[in-house]
Amino acid sequence: MGKIYDVIILGAGPAGLAAGLYAGRSRLSTLIVEKGKDGGQIAITDEIENYPGQIVEGESGPSLIARMTEQCEKFGVDRVSDTITSVQLEGDVKKLCSSKAEYEGKTLIIATGAFPRPIGCKGEKEFLGKGVSYCATCDANFFEDFEVYVVGGGDAAVEEAMYLTKFARKVTVIHRRDELRAAKSIQEKAFKNEKLHFMWDTVVEEVTGDGILSEMTVKNVKTGELTKIEADEDDGMFGVFGFIGRVPNTEILEGTALELDKGYIPTDQDMHTNIPGVFAAGDVRVKSLRQVVTAAGDGAIAATQCEKYLNEL
Ligand code: NAP
């Protein structure tokens, strides 16, 4: 029989890594399972201005995450890179299964985060990586001196649009309303940026091109007017970055006894879900503020509650 961990953590973003740190420091046998790169969405964030103490000039999401990972490893947390395809959440031992292995734990912390919401236009999937992107940090350099469009009007869209102005010749934010949702302080900076332009009351209907994105049809939602945008002849291409919110990573939990609310996991203030021994932390949870600082706080609470649960078993 394989090892039964005290705590299994699904996901190595800030919530999962904070949970790992706290569980490891409590000398609980702990396993973190992550299918991709550590960091979740932070791994693709260029600047983190609002994590307390984060004032090191030029520090990015990946470097902050690298330190969190190192700190976790220091406290003896086991790590595995695997894609979980099914879970068994009820009973005293929780089971996570992939195509190659089965992992067992007395408690489980779900910290699977959320992924970028697709723009929802025709051709989006086909041109992903060929002009369509959801990650400015990853792809901005491909658009050095080209034109770029950013879809969305929240903090992420406006901040990433400003970041893209460091690379692109011109950046146009396409927003479905006539005012931004982004924080006023972010808006103020954006409106001062000469490379940044705005296309209001507009949605993207279709992206197309000959192998690489070079044409887009947008619609004015007030007048219904359709406009075709073509790449500059010398460029032959442009970029479209989508930042219109996120979707929780809970597909594998659908159909289980775990309660979900629009895909997010409801918890109490101590990160308990409706199933004993199963906790949730970070962006995957129903909450009002999805930030690195709140994810890390959730992870710390969840791990502490695992210890309490185990002591009471
Ligand atoms: P968000 O705040 O939910 O904004 C999503 C934006 O996309 C909104 O402007 C929304 O338009 C638009 N949108 C949604 N669905 C759309 C669709 N189908 N078609 C076109 N546009 C659509 O998401 P976010 O910007 O990713 O931010 C998520 C959370 O992270 C927020 O709490 C945010 O404050 C936080 N965040 C903070 C920072 C920071 O503080 N530095 C940076 C990034 C993110 P409407 O406005 O019309 O609804």
The single-letter code of the amino acid at 77 is: V
DSSP 238-294: -EEEE-S-EEES-GGGTTSSS--BTTBBP--TT-B-SSTTEEE-GGGB--S--SHHH
| Selected catalytic residue, list 6, 46, 139, 283 | 139
CA-based radius of gyration for the chain: 21
Among this protein's residues, is 135 annotated catalytic? yes
Phi, psi of 23 (to 5 degrees): -70, -45
Answer positive or negative: Cα dihedral of 190, 195, 199, 203.
negative
Residue percentage of the chain with pLDDT more than 70: 98
Among this protein's residues, is 121 annotated catalytic? no
* Residue 152 in contact with ligand 1 by CB distance below 6 A: yes
Is 280's pLDDT higher than 70? yes
Is 6's pLDDT higher than 80? yes
- Spatial contact of 5 and 103, defined as CB atoms under 8 Å apart: yes
Of the candidates 201, 229, 202, which has an alpha carbon nearest to the alpha carbon of residue 215? 229
Write down the pLDDT at residue 200: 98
Q: Which of 162, 176, 201 to mutate to test the pocket of ligand 1 (most atoms within 8 A of CB)?
A: 176
List, in order, residues 6 or more apart from 191 with CB less than 8 Å away.
none
Write down the pLDDT at residue 39: 80
Residue pLDDT, tens place only, 25-36: 999 999 999 998
Residue pLDDT, tens place only, 71-122: 999 999 999 999 999 999 999 999 999 999 999 999 999 999 998 899 999 9
Residue pLDDT, tens place only, 35-74: 988 887 777 666 677 788 877 777 778 888 999 999 999 9
Write down the pLDDT at residue 161: 97
Of the candidates 182, 183, 163, 181, which has an alpha carbon nearest to the alpha carbon of residue 171? 163
Range list of β-strands (E), 152-268? 170-174, 196-199, 202-209, 213-220, 226-230, 239-242, 246-248
